[in-house]
Structure 1
Amino acid sequence: MNTSRAAWLFLAPALIVLGMFFLLPVLAALILSLTDYDLYALADIRNLRFVGLENYWTLLHRPLFWSALGHTVYFVAVGVPLSLIASLGAAMLLNSPLARCKPFFRTALFAPVVTTVVAVAVIWRYLFNTKYGLVNSVLDGIGVAPIDWLGDPHWSMPTIILFAVWKNFGYNMIIFMAGLQAIPADLYEAARIDGASALRQFQHITLPMLKPTMVMVSILTVSGYFQLFAEPYVMTEGGPLQSTTSVLYLMYEEGFKWWNLGSASAVAFLLFIIMFAVTAVMLRLSRRGGEV
């Protein structure tokens, strides 16, 4: 009994912090999502009304929400595989015995992760500027007409995806490197003795041994990419023609541009439900694959 009390005493500070700065705000947001909390209620709390699930019902019948969800799903569906391929490829290159100056390249490839998103996004805006951007200058040098990367609805989201992959793949690269270094070298040596090619070693040794790491990295990447906000906010402001408006960007506009805090809270919880469902499906599929 004394041991149990001591354990709770040691856990109490952390539990208090979690309760104050996580559980209470989440509970407050859930309550807000069931009200019409807006600028009028902010000025006078007596204007606040309980509306139940009306905010959710309105959002589900709002074309802009489905458009934002479509943009977010597109960003996740394209960006996550590209990020995983880039991070795994970089990890394998740095883990190769042929690689030189590994500490330098690890630091260089990881540096974008710890760089401020806003600062780097501003630089990318200049790089992809239609008139004086470096990318269009290179294309012009090889005879390709300038492309309006951030002003054309067809190119704006691919440009943001490219930026997000470059910005974040270094984090997954470090995790993959740890997973690769945990694979026994004897397995590769035995495969080489049996005459297995590098491709077969990758298929039958690297991928199966990396499966737990791959599942964890995939879930973390999907969760992070569903929360797309800073990139379109800085680079395109949700445009052009709302082609880069994500669910989180819609939540920001509802809450801090139009001051519909009840609707913004409903957007947040709808996004949470979607992310929870996708994560549950990914975990279920990974477990089913493990059983097979």
Structure 2
Amino acid sequence: MATQVIPVVTPRTDRAAGTTPPSPARRRRNRKRNLWIYAFLMPTFILYGLYTIYPIIASYWYSLVEWNGFSAEQRFVGISNYQAVMSDPLFWSSVRITLVFMLLVAPLRVFGAFFLAILLNSPRMPFSKFFRTVYFIPVVTTTAIVGVVMRFVLDPGAGPVAAVLGLLDMPPVDLLGSSDSALITTALVYVWKFFGITLIYWLAALQTIPQDLYEAARIDGAGGVRIFRYITLPMLLPFLLIISILTIEDCFHAFDLMQTMTAGGPFFSTEIIEIYIYRWAFAATIPQLGFASAAAVLFGLLVLIVAAVQAWATMVTRRPQRARA
């Protein structure tokens, strides 16, 4: 008698993933869940599109027209606005001031925060959590308020700094009123304001170093200097480039602090590119939205170059890690 073979039906699996495909009921639940997710995200998408994406796209059009922002007439002028911006000496002065500001701020933030992070990351450092909080408090403070307060603090007539100098029988110093010291003063305030962000970057980078390496080095008799030189420093070098690029990119956005402290003065000595754009777009007697938009587009290209360098640096630093993996 022949034996009847009953075929065993197995559920179909996804060949690529090796898993059972979801049932129709589960697919309906997933679609319903995704619809709720998109529904909650839709207000953010709309607001981001209206107040971020649309102004960026509109600025490209405005850079090609002559428009004061009030009248309905917009006369197309092509690249004339770009030619006018490129031929304006104050534009190149603002570019130079922006780069000098970046060169003053970035090294102090990157390397100053690096050495402070080394100290605060040490288990033998007392009150390390307290100091981390203290250095991060200025970050969460509104930048415009910091600028107004620091302008009062540095007031040569009635500020606390002038009072302390008076007690020491020293003449008051107008740090924000002199073209020689205004940029340096605002740069130091900017470093103090955002120092905590760079500090957090370095503290996070230090947490990626395995503690086993430190323990093995101490067992072998290595001291603190040798541990820092042969373990800590090589392990942090990949983060140095990324943190530096992030800090440099952040230095291009100092409008609120600079506007409240100096408004670009005295004698345009602190007029960074953002204040230059603001002056032509909103502070001029007859606003020139087309001219300001052309300057904004050129500034955006500068920031885009920095972002491209950041992406390239991230790719280069991750390549050895992928090779080791």
TM tier, smaller: 0.7 to 0.9
- Kindly tell me: are residues 21 and 208 of structure 1, through their superposed partners in 2, closer, same or farther at Cα, counting changes over 3 Å? farther
Percent of paired sites with the same residue: 38
Residues 230, 273 of structure 1: alpha-carbon distance in 2 compared, 3 angstrom cutoff: same
Q: C-alpha offsets along residues 19-70 of structure 1, whole Å, 9 cap, x if unaligned?
A: 333322211111111111214xx22x1x211111111111111000000111
Q: Does 1:24 align with 2:54?
A: yes
TM-score (norm 1): 0.86
Confirm or deny: 8 A CA contact 2:242 2:313 kept in the other structure: no
Give runs of aligned pairs for residues 156-171 of structure 1, distance below 5 A: 156-171=182-197
Alpha carbons of 1:29 and 1:146: their partners in 2 closer, same or farther (altered >3 Å)? Answer: same
Give the structure 2 partner of residue 94 of structure 1: 120
1:148 pairs with one of 165, 170, 174: 174
Query: Are residues 197 and 241 of structure 1, via their aligned partners in 2, closer, same or farther at CA, if it must alter by over 3 Å?
Result: farther
Partner of 2:154: 128
Name the aligned partner's letter for residue 25 of structure 1: P
| Residues 92 and 31 (structure 1), Cα distance of their counterparts in 2 relative to 1, 3 Å cut | same
Distance in 1 separating the partners of 2:315 and 2:196: 27
> Partner residue of 1:265?
293
TM-score by length of 2: 0.78
Q: Partners in 1 of 2:212 and 2:226 — Cα distance?
A: 15
Deviation at 1:84, TM superposition (A): 1.1
Partner of 1:278: 306
Q: Determine if the alignment matches structure 1 residue 189 to structure 2 residue 215.
A: yes
Cα distance in 1 for partners of 2:241, 2:144 equals 29
Q: How does 1:1-292 map to 2 (within 5 A)?
A: 10-11=37-38, 13=42, 15-39=45-69, 42-43=70-71, 45=72, 47-138=73-164, 146-258=172-284, 259-284=287-312
Deviations, residues 52-102 of structure 1 (Å, cap 9, x unaligned): 111111111100000011110001111011011222223222211122233
Deviates more, 1:17-26 or 1:228-237: 17-26
- The verdict on how the C-alpha distance between 1:197 and 1:51 changes in structure 2, with shifts beyond 3 A counting, is farther
Q: List runs of 5+ in structure 2 lacking aligned partners.
A: 1-26, 321-325
Contact 2:156 2:172 in 1 (8 A): yes
Letter in 2 for 1:271: F
CA gap of 1:290–1:144, structure 2 versus 1, over 3 A, is: farther
Specify the code of the residue in structure 1 equivalent to 2:234: P
Given the superposition, is the C-alpha separation of residues 200 and 270 from structure 1 closer, same or farther in structure 2, using an over 3 Å criterion? farther
Q: Distance in 2 between matches of 1:32 and 1:167?
A: 34
Relative to 1, partners in 2 of residues 1:285 and 1:239: Cα closer, same or farther, differing over 3 Å?
same
Contact 2:242-2:314 within 8 A present in 1 as well: no
Cα offset, 1:234, TM superposition:
1.1
Structure 2 distance, partners of 1:6, 1:210, is: 45
Q: CA separation in 1, counterparts of 2:308 and 2:272?
A: 22
Q: Distance in 2 between the 1:203 and 1:276 partners?
A: 35
Kindly tell me: are residues 21 and 233 of structure 1, through their superposed partners in 2, closer, same or farther at Cα, counting changes over 3 Å? closer
* Structure 1 position 238, deviation (Å): 0.9
Whether contact under 8 Å (2:120, 2:128) holds in the other structure is: yes
Aligned position for 2:18:
none
* Distance (whole Å) between structure 1 residues aligned to residue 242 and residue 33 of structure 2: 30
Question: Where in structure 1 are there 5+ consecutive unaligned residues?
Answer: none
Return closer, same or farther for 1:199/1:158 CA change in 2, 3 Å cut-off: farther
Q: Distance in 2 between matches of 1:191 and 1:272?
A: 47
SS in 2 for 1:226: coil
Distance 1:49 1:112, change over 3 A: same
Name the aligned partner's letter for residue 76 of structure 1: M
CA contact (8 A) 2:117 2:202 kept: yes
- Contact in 2 for aligned 1:72/1:228 (Cα 8 Å): no
Query: Could you say which structure has the higher helix fraction?
Result: 1
Shift of 1:168: 0.2
- Paired residue type of 2:297: F
Q: How far is the alpha carbon of 1:154 from its aligned partner? A: 1.0
